[in-house]
Amino acid sequence: MAELLRSPTGIAGTVLLSIVIAMAALGPFIAPYDPQTFHPIARLQGPSWAHLLGTDQFGRDILSRLLDGAPSTISFGLGATLLGVAAGSFIGVVAGVAGGAVDSVIMRLVDGLLAIPDLLFTLLIVTILGGGTGYAMLAVAVAFTPGMARISRSAVLSVRTRDYVLAAQARGESWGWIVGFEVLPNALSPIIVEATIRVAFAIMIGATLGFLGLGAQPPSTEWGLMVAEARQFMFRNPWMVAVPGIAIALAALGFNLFGDALRDALDPRGRR
């Protein structure tokens, strides 16, 4: 952890990430207004003392909506990544450990799926499932799975022939034990680093889906949806676009910086 705070990237990432997580944890409780309440006499206003970040087309308080939307926006990124990492790692570990025909069939399929750009893949899945936050999260997770499978497989392959694994095999431990207690813990750090950076990505894709009308739906306060709803009014009140837009960027930035710093800290050789 001390390693992490040594570089400017690490400090900035940790600080930003703490802010973002604090917002996600406390946002709805510290919001000055109910995020859904209309203030018909104060519509489309810029910042004022009453509304620190202005109001939207219904006169709803933008700051309150931003705070209220933090948990759903951030948990979308975390949830999608977690699901994708879990599924991907499982597939990757199976392929890496089993080897042979199983490995090559799985990896062919993974390559096939990797040939579709992430956003396109997600779009296709979301349109089948029918949109909405839950399905959007599932879609991002599915889109992440092949990439994570590939990374975890190579992580597994790199430790598979290490002495401690061979030793465990010689001891006659079961495969399940070896994978759980020898292979996974040692293959974990590249997976964690990749996952952290992917959270940033998942937040961005989730917001993009919300923006395209395929993710969160009104009256949700998800940040991408806030930008989408604001577009109609962006020239009348630019704050409506700028506030959630910049919030998305800062959240993604936090995870990106933190992930990179984490990589440097865990793998001194890779530091650049």
Site mask, other proteins, residues 33-52, x = CB under 8 A? ---xxx-x--x---------
The alpha carbon of residue 110 and the mean position of all alpha carbons in its chain are separated, in whole angstroms, by: 21
Query: Cβ neighbours of residue 223 under 8 Å, at least 6 residues apart?
Result: 66, 69, 70, 73, 207, 210, 244, 245, 247, 248
What backbone phi and psi angles, to 5 degrees, belong to 80?
-60, -45
Per-residue string for binding with other proteins, 234-263, x by CB under 8 A? xxx-x--xx--xx-xxx-xx--xx------
269 binds other proteins (CB under 8 A): no
How many whole angstroms separate alpha carbon 264 and alpha carbon 81? 21
What stretch of H or E contains 214? none
Give the closest residue to 122 by CA, choosing from 137, 110, 107: 137
Residues in region 159-198 near other proteins by CB under 8 A: none
Whole-angstrom distance, CA of residue 90 vs CA of residue 152: 8
Q: Is 125 in the site for other proteins (CB under 8 A)?
A: yes
Going residue by residue from 205 to 234, which x/- string records binding to other proteins, judged by CB under 8 A? x-xx--xxxx--xxx----x--x-x-xxxx
* Contacting other proteins within 67-86 (CB under 8 A): none
Does 6 participate in binding other proteins (rule CB under 8 A)? no
In the list 42, 116, 159, 188, the residue contacting other proteins (rule: CB under 8 A) is 116
Residues whose CB is less than 8 angstroms from the CB of residue 80 and which lie 6 or more positions away in sequence, other chains included: 137, 138, 140, 141, 144, 202, 205, 206
102 binds other proteins (CB under 8 A): no
Q: CB under 8 Å to 158, separation ≥6 — which residues?
A: 187
Read off the tokens for 17: 């990430």
Among positive and negative, which fits the CA dihedral 220, 221, 223, 227?
A: positive
Contact flags string 128-157 toward other proteins, x per CB under 8 A: x-xxx-------------------------
The C-alpha atoms of residue 80 and residue 126 are separated, in whole angstroms, by 13
Least distance to other proteins, CB of residue 255, Å: 8
Q: Is the CB of 6 or the CB of 231 nearer to other proteins?
A: 231
Instruction: Give the interface size with other proteins as a residue count (CB under 8 A).
Output: 63
97 vs 200, beta carbon nearer other proteins: 200
Encoding tokens for residue 164? Answer: 């401690």
Q: What is the amino acid identity at position 189? A: S
Closest to other proteins by CB, 19 or 120: 120
Least Å distance, CB 134 to other proteins, is: 12
| Cβ 48 to other proteins shortest distance, Å | 19
Q: Which of 189, 110, 209 is nearest to 150 (CA)?
A: 110
Nearest-approach distance from CB 159 to other proteins, in angstroms: 23
Give the interface with other proteins as residue ranges (CB under 8 A).
Answer: 8-9, 36-38, 40, 43, 57-59, 108-109, 111-113, 115-120, 123-125, 127-128, 130-132, 200, 204-205, 207-208, 211-214, 217-219, 224, 227, 229, 231-236, 238, 241-242, 245-246, 248-250, 252-253, 256-257, 272
